């Protein structure tokens, strides 16, 4: 495997999206490992509020405590973290130093990949099932380190809901996992449309917000968006004909897959048994995607080492 010469993704936030069962979490694991082997300092943020087991497939014995508790708990259970749809105000103290984070809120693989968990909706009482506050953590969290700036890979919940909560605005890249189904293609096309509208300066929906100050804040967050675009990665591709069909369909929406991961039953077995995924056979499939992201990121100019969302 080649060594990265630019490290152009250091400090970037990469969001992983897809329909339920598309392989988002699997791609997150493989991508993180691939970046780590290329010399990046890597942090995974598990922001899927319903899926469990990320730590197990990474080979980490225990899951870290959820950051939603560290930040004060969800507002729906009497805490302080609000839903970004109702209250778009940026998360207080969203810049977090790895060195200052209590050890129980982090976990690491043997080779140093940092795992953080935004939170889960289970176990928070009846009526506390809205995961908007968890999405706010995923939108705003900024990890700092005394060492090289980490690249953060964020595993979002399935579907489009989090994109409606503004999480795209504070990402550098959105990566959509497309497995061989029509709904997977449709979801990728919708995310591409949302991304294009954000980058073109379209105004976000604010009719539900009565406060003019908060409505203007939402508009400001979209105007400050750091999003460079949406890329797609094919998954569970069983033959060339399937790959060709998916590629042709995505091209109609201006999407051109940057990588393709073949079907492999061992991955499903790892999730069933909650055992580490053997990622080595799949890593080289993602090298084209990382090349593409590094080149495109370099074209935008130097990274200035700070988030665009302003704290309050």
pLDDT tens track for 217-235? 999 999 999 999 999 999 9
Q: What pLDDT score does 127 carry?
A: 56
Structure tokens at 179: 């497995």
Query: Is pLDDT of 249 > 90?
Result: yes
Residue in this structure with the two tokens 């503004």, named with its chain if needed = 166
Structure tokens at 197: 């509208």
> 79 Cβ partners below 8 Å, 6+ apart?
68, 72, 73, 133
In this prediction, residues 115-132 reach a mean pLDDT of: 79
In this prediction, residues 2-10 reach a mean pLDDT of: 68
Q: What pLDDT score does 1 carry?
A: 58
In this prediction, residues 257-265 reach a mean pLDDT of: 95
Structure tokens at 312: 């309050």
**Contact indicator for 170, 309 with CB cutoff of 8 Å:** yes
Q: Tell me how far apart the alpha carbons of residues 307 and 141 are, in angstroms, rounded to a whole number.
A: 9
Instruction: Give the H/E segment covering residue 144.
Output: strand 142-144
- Using pLDDT thresholds of 50, 70 and 90, give the confidence band for residue 298: confident
- All domains of the chain in start order, with CATH: 13-298 (3.40.50.300)
Q: What pLDDT score does 304 carry?
A: 39
Query: Is pLDDT of 60 > 60?
Result: yes
In this prediction, residues 54-66 reach a mean pLDDT of: 96
More confident call, 299 vs 180: 180
Average per-residue pLDDT for the chain: 91
Model pTM score: 0.93
> 189 Cβ partners below 8 Å, 6+ apart?
250, 253, 255
More confident call, 128 vs 184: 184
Q: What pLDDT score does 311 carry?
A: 40
Query: Got the DSSP string for 92-137?
Result: TT-EEETTTS-GGG-EE-TT--EEEE---STTS-TT----HHHHHH
In this prediction, residues 154-173 reach a mean pLDDT of: 95
Q: What pLDDT score does 297 carry?
A: 87
Query: Is pLDDT of 309 > 60?
Result: no
Residue in this structure with the two tokens 């033959």, named with its chain if needed = 239
Q: What pLDDT score does 308 carry?
A: 42
- Name the pairing type of β-strands 13-17 and 173-178: parallel
Counting other chains too, the contacts that 217-220 makes at CB distance below 8 Å and 24 or more residues apart are: 217/88, 217/89, 218/88, 218/166
In this prediction, residues 44-60 reach a mean pLDDT of: 96
At 183-229, the pLDDT tens digits run 999 999 999 999 999 999 999 999 999 999 999 999 999 999 999 99
Q: Tell me how far apart the alpha carbons of residues 182 and 232 are, in angstroms, rounded to a whole number.
A: 14
Structure tokens at 157: 């919940």
Say how many CA atoms lie within 13 Å of 32 toward its Cβ.
Answer: 33
């Amino acid at each position: 495997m080649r060594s990265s010469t630019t490290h152009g993704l250091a400090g970037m936030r990469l969001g992983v999206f897809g329909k339920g069962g598309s392989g988002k979490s699997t791609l997150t694991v493989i991508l993180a490992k691939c970046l780590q082997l290329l010399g990046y300092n890597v942090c995974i943020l598990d922001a899927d509020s319903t899926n469990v087991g990320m730590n197990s497939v990474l080979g980490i014995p225990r899951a870290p405590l959820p950051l939603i508790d560290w930040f004060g708990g969800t507002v729906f259970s009497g805490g302080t973290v609000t839903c970004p749809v109702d209250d778009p105000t940026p998360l207080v103290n969203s810049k977090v130093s790895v060195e200052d984070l209590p050890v129980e809120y982090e976990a690491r693989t043997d080779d140093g990949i940092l795992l953080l968990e935004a939170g889960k909706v289970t176990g928070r009482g009846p009526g506390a099932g809205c995961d908007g506050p968890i999405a706010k953590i995923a939108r705003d969290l900024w990890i700092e380190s005394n060492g090289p700036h980490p690249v953060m890979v964020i595993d979002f919940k399935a579907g489009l809901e989090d994109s409606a909560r503004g999480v795209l605005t504070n990402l550098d890249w959105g990566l959509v996992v497309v497995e061989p189904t029509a709904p997977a293609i449709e979801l990728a096309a919708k995310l591409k449309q949302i991304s294009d509208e954000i980058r073109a300066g379209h105004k976000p929906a604010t009719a539900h917000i009565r406060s003019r100050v908060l409505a203007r804040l939402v508009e400001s967050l979209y105007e400050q968006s750091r999003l460079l675009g949406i890329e797609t990665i094919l998954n569970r591709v069983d033959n060339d004909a399937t790959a060709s069909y998916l590629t042709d369909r995505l091209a109609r929406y201006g999407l051109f897959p940057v990588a393709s991961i073949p079907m492999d039953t061992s991955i499903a077995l790892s999730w069933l048994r909650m055992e580490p995924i053997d990622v080595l056979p799949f890593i080289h499939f993602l090298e084209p995607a990382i090349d593409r992201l590094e080149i495109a990121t370099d074209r935008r100019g130097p990274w200035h080492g700070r988030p665009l969302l302003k704290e309050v």
